[in-house]
């Protein structure tokens, strides 16, 4: 049976892929995004244009903090599930522009919770969280039951706040909520500020790559298709009314790789050696992420299919054959950490 879903952040990386999967399965998708200029809006518009080719896709341009608009969307559509993926992304950007994160990630999420509670209380609400909530934890691999009260950057703190907000709404109002802790997502149509995008661009241009902590970093890199599989698997499994109203799940590969292994895979895929510049550990970073995926495996038979080599090869093919072909590179600053994006410009759009 075809259903109607809301995907906030539908022009973003994960939101785009999830919306595309739902549309390909014949469902109706209501997309919502403010096309925030944290990174180039050209890439976001290109993603959204692809979704608009589907007759079952309806897009609303707007802001999470526009409560009347959120309420109107919920009045116009009855959602089977709501995938709240919109958020101000980026760890390092939060060090200098904290206000943006509170408005988007906290105030905006509150509006979604309120709309679900008041206007569509039977909808299952899925909220994007992050491995950043584990912060200083060194209990590897990270388990959902581990303490998550020591985030090292405001981004992680806002995501932990989302988890606690959702728990209170489930407890007080019987709202079914599922929190999704994503681990270092990468793949085609990804964010230009992420390492894979920046590294591939730099290698092709014979530019230096900044390698943080002198290469001594470990990440649980997770391919976007595996992320989408996890989300949809949980959506099917968690609609069982006998399960707890609130729950939290890691979605990762559970195969952490060092930063140097990651770079080696890029060099192999491009058949070109990277120029490296080793730099110190950055404030707000986490040394190691490693997801325990036992819980999601038991819940919906989640099984990541992409090795880091396979995933990077897929990204490189997209970058060379689509990204460059569409001349998106000329419109994107692929190093958002060095961009001249004005925080006030983003704040004004929230």
- Supply the CATH number for residue 64's domain: 3.40.50.720
- pTM of structure: 0.93
Q: How far is CA 248 from CA 148, 191, 211, in A?
A: 12, 25, 32
Q: What percent of the chain has pLDDT over 90?
A: 84
Q: Is the pLDDT of residue 230 over 70?
A: yes
Tell me the angle at which helices 13-24 and 41-52 cross, rounded to the nearest 10 degrees: 10
Domain count, the chain: 1
Tell me the angle at which helices 154-173 and 108-119 cross, rounded to the nearest 10 degrees: 20
Residues 186-220: pLDDT tens digits? 999 999 999 999 999 999 999 999 999 989 999 99
Q: Is the pLDDT of residue 336 over 60?
A: no
Q: Is the pLDDT of residue 226 over 80?
A: yes
Three-state DSSP string of the chain: CCCEEEEECCCCHHHHHHHHHHHHCCCEEEEEECCCCCCCHHHHHHHHHHHHCCCCEEEEECCCCCHHHHHHHHHHCCCCEEEECCCCCCCHHHHCCHHHHHHHHHHHHHHHHHHHHHHCCCCEEEEEEEHHHHCCCCCCCECCCCCCCCCCCHHHHHHHHHHHHHHHHHHHHCCCEEEEEECCEECCCCCCCCHHHHHHHHHHCCCEEEEEHHHCCEECCEEHHHHHHHHHHHHHHCCCCCCCCEEEEEECCCCCEEHHHHHHHHHHHHCCCCEEEEECCCCCCCCECCECCHHHHHHHCCCCCCCHHHHHHHHHHHHHHHHCCCCHHHHCCCCHHHCCCCHHHHHHCC
Per-residue pLDDT, averaged over 286-299, amounts to 96
Residues 100-117: pLDDT tens digits? 999 999 999 999 999 999
Per-residue pLDDT, averaged over 130-149, amounts to 95
Per-residue pLDDT, averaged over 257-277, amounts to 97
Listed in sequence order, the residues at least 6 apart from 197 whose beta carbon sits closer than 8 Å to its beta carbon are 190, 191, 319, 334
Instruction: Tell how strand 275-279 and strand 208-212 pair up.
Output: parallel
pLDDT band at 239 (very low <50, low <70, confident <90, very high): confident
- Lowest mean pLDDT across 37-46, 154-163, 255-264: 37-46
pLDDT of residue 285: 84
Q: For 15, how many CA atoms within 13 A lie in the half-sphere containing its CB?
A: 33
pLDDT of residue 350: 33
pLDDT of residue 332: 73
Q: For 74, how many CA atoms within 13 A lie in the half-sphere containing its CB?
A: 24
pLDDT of residue 40: 85
Instruction: Tell how strand 177-182 and strand 124-130 pair up.
Output: parallel
Q: Is the pLDDT of residue 24 over 80?
A: yes
The answer to whether residues 113 and 124 touch, using CB atoms and an 8 Å cutoff, is no
pLDDT of residue 333: 58
The residues carrying an active-site annotation are 155
Q: Is the pLDDT of residue 57 over 90?
A: yes
Containing structural domain, residue 194: 4-348
pLDDT of residue 326: 82
Per-residue pLDDT, averaged over 58-84, amounts to 97
């Amino acid at each position: 049976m075809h259903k109607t879903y809301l995907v906030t952040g539908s022009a973003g990386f994960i939101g785009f892929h999830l919306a595309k999967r739902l549309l390909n399965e014949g469902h109706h998708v209501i997309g919502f995004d403010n096309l925030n200029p944290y990174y180039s809006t050209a890439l976001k518009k290109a993603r959204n244009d692809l979704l608009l080719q589907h007759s079952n896709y309806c897009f609303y341009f707007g802001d999470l903090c526009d409560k009347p608009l959120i309420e109107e969307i919920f009045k116009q559509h009855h959602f089977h599930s709501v995938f709240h993926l919109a958020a101000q992304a980026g760890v390092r950007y939060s060090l200098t522009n904290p206000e943006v994160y509170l408005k988007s990630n906290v105030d905006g999420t509150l509006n979604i919770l309120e709309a679900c509670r008041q206007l569509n209380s039977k909808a299952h609400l899925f909220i994007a969280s992050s491995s950043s909530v584990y912060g200083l934890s060194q209990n590897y691999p990270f388990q959902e039951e581990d303490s998550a009260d020591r985030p090292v950057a405001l981004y992680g703190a806002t995501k932990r706040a989302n988890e606690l907000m959702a728990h209170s709404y489930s407890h007080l109002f019987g709202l079914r909520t599922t929190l999704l802790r994503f681990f270092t997502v990468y793949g085609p149509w990804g964010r230009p500020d992420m390492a894979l995008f920046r590294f591939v661009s730099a290698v092709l241009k014979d530019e230096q790559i900044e390698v943080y902590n002198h290469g001594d970093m470990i990440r649980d890199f997770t391919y976007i298709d595996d992320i989408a599989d996890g989300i949809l698997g949980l959506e099917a499994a968690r609609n069982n009314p006998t399960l707890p109203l609130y729950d939290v799940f890691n979605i990762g590969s559970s195969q952490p790789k060092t930063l140097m292994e990651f770079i080696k895979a890029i060099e192999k895929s491009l058949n070109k050696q990277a120029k490296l510049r080793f730099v110190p550990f950055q404030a707000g970073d986490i040394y190691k992420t490693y997801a325990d995926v036992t819980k999601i495996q038991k819940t919906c038979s989640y099984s990541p299919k992409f090795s880091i080599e396979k995933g990077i090869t897929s990204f490189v093919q997209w970058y060379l054959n689509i990204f460059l072909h569409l001349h998106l590179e000329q419109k994107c600053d692929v190093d958002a950490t060095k961009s001249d994006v004005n925080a006030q410009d983003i704040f004004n759009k929230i």
